[in-house]
Structure 1
C-alpha cells in the first residue's frame, strides 16, 4: 500500500492565516506533502489565492473579490485578529505562491473557485502561470464546477484533474473515469456514509478527502489507503500517519 499523502488545506490554516504565503510556508516546515489552495480573479484579471467569493470573512472589509483590483486586495490584511503572530499576512497571487513553494518540491492542489462566479478565462490564465513557474508536473486541478475542470483539461490535456463534490453523486467514479478525470475529492463526512469510500478506492481513481481534522478520521482514512487527506492540521496528520 502506498503511503497516504498529507495536503495542507489552505496551507497550515489552523496555525496561520489561510491561503497566505505564511500558511503555505508553515505547511512545508511541518512536512506536508502538498498544499491545497483556492484561486479566483481580481477585477483586473489576476489569479489570486482566496477561498470565499467575498473578502468579508478574512479581511473584515466588504465586497466581492472580483470587484477589487489586485492593488486593492493587496492592501487588505488577512485574519489579523485571529493570528497575532502573523499581523501582516496578505492575499497572494497564484504566481507568488508557486514561486515561493517551488524550491520545496511540494505538490499543489489548485481549486478553481468557479462554482458561483465563473471568471472569464480563469482556466487559461491559471494554466499559463503553472507552466511559466515550472510547476506543471506538481499541480492537481480541482473544482466543484466540473465544466471548469473539463475546460482546463481541454487547455492542458495531460493535466492531473479531480472532481470536488460534497453531495452524493450516483456512480461518481464511473462518471469521472469516463470524462477523463484522474481523481475524486469528496468531503470527509461523505466518505463515512454507506460504502462510498470502498467504491472510490476500488475505482482506481486517486481519492483525496477534505477537510480531515479529527484524529480518528485521519487514522481511518490512512488505514483505508486513500491517496491523500486534506487537513488544516498537517502536523497532526503526519504524526498520526507516522504512528501507523
Structure 2
C-alpha cells in the first residue's frame, strides 16, 4: 500500500490564514499532497471558500455568506486577524483555487458546508466547476450532510465522496457503503483498530482530521491510513 496522502487543512493553516490563497500557496510550498477546503455559496451564487457560515470570525466583516454578494465579500480582509503580515488577504472562490492547482497533481478535498445552511444546488455547482477544470480524478467531496453526498453520487457516480463525522457513528463502514461513499472522514479520535481493519477489508478509504500531534501522525503513517488532514503538512511529510 502506498504512503498516506497529506492534506493541508484549510490550506497550511498553521502558517497562513485559513482558507486563503496564502494558505493554499503555502501548502504547495510545503509539498502537501492535497488541500482540504470548505465551500459555501454567496448570495449571488458563487462558490466561496470559507469554513464558517458567517464571516465574523475570520474577517473584518459581519453576517452570513449567503446574504452577501461576491463583490462585497471581496472587500473584506481575511488575513489581518491571523497576522499583520497577511493584511489584505481576501476570501477566495473555488475557481481561484482551481486556477492555482490546475497544472499540478494536488488532490482537493472539498467539504460542502451545507449541514447548517441548505445551499440549493451546491452539489451541481461544485461538480460543474470540477468538470470545467477536468479534475474529476483529483477530487473527493466530503460533508457532514450525508444526504448531500448521496446527491453527488446521483449527479455523477464517478466523483469520490467521503462521510465526515466527529461524533460516534454506528458501523461507519457499512453506513458509507449504503450511501455509495468511497471513504470515511472521521475525527482521528473516532478511529480504532476495528474500523481500520473493516475499512481495508471493504476497500473504503479513511482520511482522518485534524491531526496536529506528531505522535499521532507517525502512528497513522505506520498503519498506512489513506489520508491525514493536518494544519502542519510539512511535519507529516517529514514523518513519511
Indicate whether the TM-score tops 0.5. Answer: yes
CA RMSD of aligned residues (A): 1.3
Inter-partner Cα distance in structure 1 for 2:84 and 2:104: 26
Following TM superposition, by how much is the alpha carbon of 1:82 offset from its aligned partner in structure 2, in angstroms? 1.9
In the alignment, structure 1 residue 237 sits paired with structure 2 residue 236: yes
Inter-partner Cα distance in structure 2 for 1:215 and 1:84: 28
Following TM superposition, by how much is the alpha carbon of 1:200 offset from its aligned partner in structure 2, in angstroms? 3.3
Say whether the 8 Å CA contact 2:149–2:179 is kept in structure 1.
Answer: no
Q: Secondary structure at the match of 2:37?
A: strand
Say whether the 8 Å CA contact 1:201–1:226 is kept in structure 2.
Answer: no
Other-structure match for 1:117 = 117
TM-score, scaled relative to structure 2: 0.96
Deviates more, 1:111-120 or 1:132-141: 132-141
Inter-partner Cα distance in structure 2 for 1:219 and 1:119: 38
Inter-partner Cα distance in structure 2 for 1:194 and 1:108: 27
Inter-partner Cα distance in structure 1 for 2:106 and 2:215: 26
Other-structure match for 1:155 = 155
Inter-partner Cα distance in structure 2 for 1:139 and 1:122: 16
Following TM superposition, by how much is the alpha carbon of 1:106 offset from its aligned partner in structure 2, in angstroms? 0.5
Inter-partner Cα distance in structure 1 for 2:135 and 2:25: 16
Say whether the 8 Å CA contact 2:79–2:90 is kept in structure 1.
Answer: no
Following TM superposition, by how much is the alpha carbon of 1:168 offset from its aligned partner in structure 2, in angstroms? 1.1
Instruction: Deviation per CA, 1:67-90: give whole Å up to 9, x if none.
Output: 110011111111313223222211
Following TM superposition, by how much is the alpha carbon of 1:5 offset from its aligned partner in structure 2, in angstroms? 1.0
Instruction: Deviation per CA, 1:108-141: give whole Å up to 9, x if none.
Output: 0000001000101001111111111221211111
Following TM superposition, by how much is the alpha carbon of 1:194 offset from its aligned partner in structure 2, in angstroms? 7.1
Q: Secondary structure at the match of 2:40?
A: strand
Deviates more, 1:18-27 or 1:195-204: 195-204
Gaps of 5+ in 2: none
Other-structure match for 1:184 = 184
Deviates more, 1:78-87 or 1:21-30: 78-87
Q: Secondary structure at the match of 2:85?
A: coil
Say whether the 8 Å CA contact 1:142–1:163 is kept in structure 2.
Answer: yes
In the alignment, structure 1 residue 106 sits paired with structure 2 residue 106: yes
Query: In the comparison of the two structures, how many residue pairs are matched?
Result: 240
Q: Secondary structure at the match of 2:6?
A: strand
Say whether the 8 Å CA contact 1:208–1:226 is kept in structure 2.
Answer: yes
Say whether the 8 Å CA contact 2:7–2:230 is kept in structure 1.
Answer: yes
Superposed, which structure 2 residues align to 1:37-76 within 5 Å? Answer: 37-76=37-76
Other-structure match for 2:169 = 169
Q: Secondary structure at the match of 2:220?
A: helix
Q: Secondary structure at the match of 1:95?
A: helix
